[in-house]
């Protein structure tokens, strides 16, 4: 079940958060490959959060186009 995010949030803020999460995800992958990452669940959490934010953007864009 996807949680609904606050619809009043500006889409630019969501895109900025997605960019930050992607940077973190890249760093997590590098840390995992070098054996420095202790909490491997952070990779999954980052990917899930990115997907949730993208879904919320698509839902709001779909509502505007309908």
pTM higher than 0.75 for the full model?
yes
Helices 41-65 and 11-34 sit at what angle, rounded to 10 degrees?
160
User: What is the tens place of the pLDDT at every residue in 2-36?
Assistant: 555 555 578 889 999 999 999 999 999 999 999 99
Question: Is 58 a residue whose pLDDT tops 80?
Answer: yes
Per-residue confidence (pLDDT) for residue 11, from 0 to 100: 86
What CA dihedral angle connects 15, 18, 19 and 20, to 10 degrees?
A: 130
């Amino acid at each position: 079940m996807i949680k609904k995010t606050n619809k009043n949030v500006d889409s630019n803020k969501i895109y900025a958060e997605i960019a930050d999460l992607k940077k973190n995800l890249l760093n997590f992958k590098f840390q995992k490959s070098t054996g420095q990452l202790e909490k491997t669940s952070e990779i999954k959490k980052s990917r899930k959060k990115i997907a949730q934010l993208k879904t919320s953007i698509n839902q709001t864009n779909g509502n505007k186009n309908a």
